[in-house]
A and B are shown apart, each in its own frame.
Chain A
Amino acid sequence: MSDATTHAGSPASTMDFHPQPQGGAPKPWAFPAPERSQLPNGLTLLTSHRPGQQVVAVEINLVAPLDAEPEGLDGVATIMARALSEGTDKHDAEEFAAELERCGATLDAHADHPGVRVSLEVPASRLHRALGLLGDALRAPAFPDSEVERLVRNRLDEIPHELANPARRAAMALSKELFPATSRMSRPRQGTEETVARVDAAAVRAFYDAHVRPATATAVIVGDFTGIDLGAALSDTLGAWSGSTAEPLKASPIIADDTGRVVIVDRPGAVQTQLLIGRIGADRHDRVWPAQVLGTYCLGGTLTSRLDRVLREEKGYTYGVRAFGQVLRSTAPTSPEGATGASLLAISGSVDTASTVPALEDLWQVLRTLAAGGLTDEERDVAVQNLVGVAPLKYETAAAVAGTLADQVEQQLPDDFQAQLYVRLAETGTVEATAAAVNAFPVDRLVTVLVGDAAQIAEPVKALGIGEVTVVSG
């Protein structure tokens, strides 16, 4: 190394410096407006042709929310979602997986509070065949006893792995703390050992019969459709799915207790403390959403936001801390039950054990400083430029576009919501963004979950005055 240093240590010349270039004129770009239609079986269809995107993305929304799971059967929606790809009236489970992979396709299904999402990605040239398999899975899943039993056992095996993961353990503890025990939201999305163990093929079939039908489902299809007769590809696949109409499910309001308090999930000897600090707040139907997005970004959206500027780039306590808002479930104000939605608003990251208390002190100080002095115009401007400017990058792939369109459907938002959001972000001022951020993260209304070594952190955390401290076992 020292040889190399003397070799190049004192270059005879340095580079020529030039002033920072100014950008050219932006080229127009807009979030794609999907075409909306309906198949004769009642399936709602959103399509968007994206030239050059050779991997087509298909997202299916099924209105099968976790709230609809029968009492004591938490996890049946998850097992049903997984069992959709474990055999149909044409293929057994192994054949089905093989046929999908023969298309070069991936198929994922998962259950969340708003419903079940099934995601297919496949090269455009094999779309028709993959849609056939997807159609079979939705239309005629076999739900064989032995496969459902296997999925249940597999799910039970997964639970200890999730509990061992500090970030997931923190998320579970926060849900349990925030929501009343009677609320489905307080409990793990994919069920507990106790409830999953009760799930069998009959329960899966009953949940499917009650909640899966084309009339309440939506298919979002995005990609390069050049040379593809989409109508024909759909009619003998998703179009062959049939089912009755259904009474719409009624969503109940989301209630949470955000009294400031601390729960420590004890992990003796942990070298880091996982932080998750949160409460609930506005969803996308609320007028404050763009300001909340902007304010949350300024607080903790990136490495140069307020939290990381101190916790990472000044103090080195963490690899990174992020603030975010994530919609839990939404209904439109115009729906029969009105607007019932909410987001989880949270700050998340991990810090070395010794820095836990100093990091929490600094974090609260960042929030107090924000409340006292507000955001600067420069911060607001940079945030808007980023949030709006990255849109063409963020939505380069078919999967990204399809994901957002499907989210909009799931949250009962208009198809042009994302396109309009960019306009509204640009119109949001510093004062509104500050107010939204301060309202989203009030210093005395935050529930703090710490997954870490209680013996080292519990006492000093009590002294911080951020709420009553409870220690639970890891």
Chain B
Amino acid sequence: MPMGHTATEQAGSGGLTATEHRLANGLRVVLSEDHLTPVAAVCLWYDVGSRHEVKGRTGLAHLFEHLMFQGSAQVKGNGHFELVQGAGGSLNGTTSFERTNYFETMPAHELELALWLEADRMGSLLTALDDESMENQRDVVKNERRQRYDNVPYGTAFEKLTAMAYPEGHPYHHTPIGSMADLDAASLEDARAFFRTYYAPNNAVLSIVGDIDSAQTLAWVEKYFGSIPSHDGKQPPRDGTLPDNIGGELREVVEEDVPSRALMAAYRLPHDGTREADAADLALTVLGGGESSRLYNRLVRRDRSAVAAGFGLLRLAGAPSLGWLDVKTSGGVEVPDIERAVDEELARFAAEGPTPEEMERAQAQLEREWLDRLATVSGRADELCRFAVLFGDPQLALTAVQRVLDVTSEEVQAVAKARLRPDNRAVLVYEPTEPTDAADTEEGEADQ
């Protein structure tokens, strides 16, 4: 059976369309109708992330995101959560290097409530913000840090790699969770200033996707958001310009109580939004994106030297993206053996490029990942905001998968050759402090 180059006629957009609008106060609005299921997603991206934080206040953007759920002028305490969930909706917010997003997915008939809630906190958060919620959420976020990073094996690897890949003083040198000391140091006044600086309609994009009436939705957006004053207090993030290549391998060896040795590395890769970034995505997929990838076949299947091996892309628009290699060693295997094999595979790939079969597989995998992201209204709303905030054009979300499919194997080889080199990586090696065979033989594993 012949396989088409793409899985769908329109290469992932599925016939989706989006319209763009702008309120007088500068709020950009993106609407996309889809009447198949009676649900509507609201997604609001503020153009602020951890890269906007200043020295001594790492983690503030994320801590602030928590404070956005602590009430505003017309919403008491946890009312934002209570009202959305009580209406049959789901919601959350997340903070990354480059943005902070807030989202609600609602039964379609409750869309107006989500808009009212988002507008209320965009316009009036500071009326409700007090010491009590600041102190409480500071503790919650510190426990989030402990749970997700400090109390799990290899939990701080990403933080360590990032700190090496982006030099001291660079806006991406620290990760969004921030340090405990800086979380302790953040004051209520810092939070207020952060809101006054970055939380404004002209620093945000609102997307609404799903079973909506565009004219009615736009009227609601105007009603609830239209009178929120814009302001121009925003400071641009510090300059994130860096050379394409690190220019020499950086390395850190960590001795910790971890279950096995590990080799991790971060490679500096092209900025998101470029054709080269899509080529890099394909290169990493061929090399380490699945169970038919080169590194998996080499390390896990043939050499049997690794328990797991993967290579993924962290796309970044305001600084070089990161290619993140993660190999956990098998039994008594030593890291230099793994490293030699990785270097061989990377060098061979740079010299030969991907085979046509590898290109087909990598493009098919990335295409399915796109289809998955676009399968829900909330996924689509998030992508529309992403392209609007980072690249100025939400329509690019609907053609993103086609751009990945347009990349040639020569371009994939070129980016591998230029970037996937030992002198362009930060390496993190884990050596366990205890013998690696210390596992309790009475118990193995259970899922929760």
B446 contacts A18, C-beta separation under 8 Å: no
B444 contacts A190, C-beta separation under 8 Å: yes
For B411, list chain A residues within 8 Å (CB).
none
For A129, list chain B residues within 8 Å (CB).
1, 3
Minimal beta-carbon separation of B116 from chain A (angstroms): 5
User: Does B147 have its Cβ within 8 Å of any Cβ on chain A?
Assistant: yes
| Closest B residue by C-beta to A150 | B304
Q: How large is the interface on A (under 10, 10 to 19, 20 to 34, 35 or more residues)?
A: 35 or more
For B436, list chain A residues within 8 Å (CB).
160
User: Does A194 have its Cβ within 8 Å of any Cβ on chain B?
Assistant: yes
Q: Choose the segment among A95-103, A203-211, A244-252 that binds chain B (4+ C-beta atoms closer than 8 Å).
A: A95-103
> Most chain-B Cβ atoms within 10 A of its Cβ — which of A17, A85, A168, A176?
A17
Known contacts A101-B292, A393-B105; is-contact A160 B229 (Cβ 8 Å): no
B233 contacts A4, C-beta separation under 8 Å: yes
B377 contacts A396, C-beta separation under 8 Å: yes
Minimal beta-carbon separation of A366 from chain B (angstroms): 16
The complex places the Cα of A94 from the Cα of B294 at a distance, in Å, of 10
The complex places the Cα of A304 from the Cα of B148 at a distance, in Å, of 21
| Closest B residue by C-beta to A52 | B36
Known contacts A9-B196, A11-B229, A352-B142; is-contact A386 B371 (Cβ 8 Å): no
For B113, list chain A residues within 8 Å (CB).
20-21, 23
User: Does B168 have its Cβ within 8 Å of any Cβ on chain A?
Assistant: no
User: Does B200 have its Cβ within 8 Å of any Cβ on chain A?
Assistant: yes
| Closest A residue by C-beta to B117 | A20
The complex places the Cα of A271 from the Cα of B180 at a distance, in Å, of 12
| Closest B residue by C-beta to A395 | B37
A351 contacts B143, C-beta separation under 8 Å: yes
A386 contacts B85, C-beta separation under 8 Å: yes
User: Does B231 have its Cβ within 8 Å of any Cβ on chain A?
Assistant: yes
User: Does B406 have its Cβ within 8 Å of any Cβ on chain A?
Assistant: no
Judged by DSSP, the binding face of A is mixed
The complex places the Cα of A26 from the Cα of B87 at a distance, in Å, of 10
The complex places the Cα of A25 from the Cα of B111 at a distance, in Å, of 11
User: Does A259 have its Cβ within 8 Å of any Cβ on chain B?
Assistant: no
User: Does B153 have its Cβ within 8 Å of any Cβ on chain A?
Assistant: yes
Minimal beta-carbon separation of B259 from chain A (angstroms): 4
The complex places the Cα of A165 from the Cα of B196 at a distance, in Å, of 41
A94 contacts B140, C-beta separation under 8 Å: no
B7 contacts A161, C-beta separation under 8 Å: no
B365 contacts A172, C-beta separation under 8 Å: no
B90 contacts A163, C-beta separation under 8 Å: no
Question: How does the 8 Å CB contact mask read for A93-119 relative to B, with 1 for contact and 0 for none?
Answer: 110011011111110000010000000
Q: Choose the segment among A40-48, A120-128, A332-340, A438-446 that binds chain B (4+ C-beta atoms closer than 8 Å).
A: A120-128
The complex places the Cα of A150 from the Cα of B146 at a distance, in Å, of 35
The complex places the Cα of A100 from the Cα of B307 at a distance, in Å, of 21
| Closest A residue by C-beta to B78 | A304
The complex places the Cα of A150 from the Cα of B331 at a distance, in Å, of 13
| Closest B residue by C-beta to A387 | B88
Determine which of B233, B297, B375, B440 lies in contact with A53 in the assembled complex, contact meaning CB atoms within 8 Å.
Answer: B375
A392 contacts B292, C-beta separation under 8 Å: no
User: Does B399 have its Cβ within 8 Å of any Cβ on chain A?
Assistant: no
User: Does B112 have its Cβ within 8 Å of any Cβ on chain A?
Assistant: yes
Question: How does the 8 Å CB contact mask read for B353-380 relative to A, with 1 for contact and 0 for none?
Answer: 0000100110011011001100111000
| Closest B residue by C-beta to A156 | B331
| Closest A residue by C-beta to B109 | A24
Known contacts A171-B448, A191-B445; is-contact A352 B193 (Cβ 8 Å): no
The complex places the Cα of A151 from the Cα of B396 at a distance, in Å, of 42
Question: How does the 8 Å CB contact mask read for B425-448 relative to A, with 1 for contact and 0 for none?
Answer: 000000000001111111111111
A303 contacts B89, C-beta separation under 8 Å: no
Q: Choose the segment among B131-139, B241-249, B264-272, B387-395 that binds chain A (4+ C-beta atoms closer than 8 Å).
A: B131-139
User: Does B409 have its Cβ within 8 Å of any Cβ on chain A?
Assistant: no
User: Does B280 have its Cβ within 8 Å of any Cβ on chain A?
Assistant: no
For B258, list chain A residues within 8 Å (CB).
164
The complex places the Cα of A189 from the Cα of B444 at a distance, in Å, of 8
| Closest A residue by C-beta to B85 | A386
The complex places the Cα of A27 from the Cα of B108 at a distance, in Å, of 8
Determine which of B7, B190, B441 lies in contact with A104 in the assembled complex, contact meaning CB atoms within 8 Å.
Answer: B7
The complex places the Cα of A168 from the Cα of B445 at a distance, in Å, of 7
28 contacts between A and B (CB under 8 A): A1-B54, A1-B235, A4-B197, A7-B233, A8-B200, A14-B123, A20-B83, A20-B116, A23-B109, A26-B38, A29-B107, A55-B372, A98-B292, A102-B357, A104-B365, A123-B8, A126-B3, A157-B328, A160-B438, A162-B445, A168-B446, A190-B446, A309-B78, A350-B146, A389-B107, A390-B88, A391-B88, A392-B39
Q: Which residues of B line the A interface, CB within 8 A?
A: 1, 3-4, 7-8, 14, 34, 36-39, 54, 73-74, 77-78, 81-83, 85-90, 105-110, 112-113, 116, 119-120, 123-124, 135-144, 146-148, 150-153, 190, 192-194, 196-197, 200, 211, 223-224, 227-229, 231-235, 258-260, 290-292, 297, 300-301, 304, 307, 328, 330-331, 357, 360-361, 364-365, 367-368, 371-372, 375-377, 436-448
Q: Which residues of A line the B interface, CB within 8 A?
A: 1-5, 7-9, 11-18, 20-21, 23-29, 51-55, 74-75, 85, 93-94, 97-98, 100-106, 112, 121-126, 128-129, 150, 153-154, 157-168, 170-173, 175-176, 187-196, 270-272, 274, 276, 302-304, 309, 312-319, 348, 350-352, 381-382, 385-386, 388-393, 396-398, 473
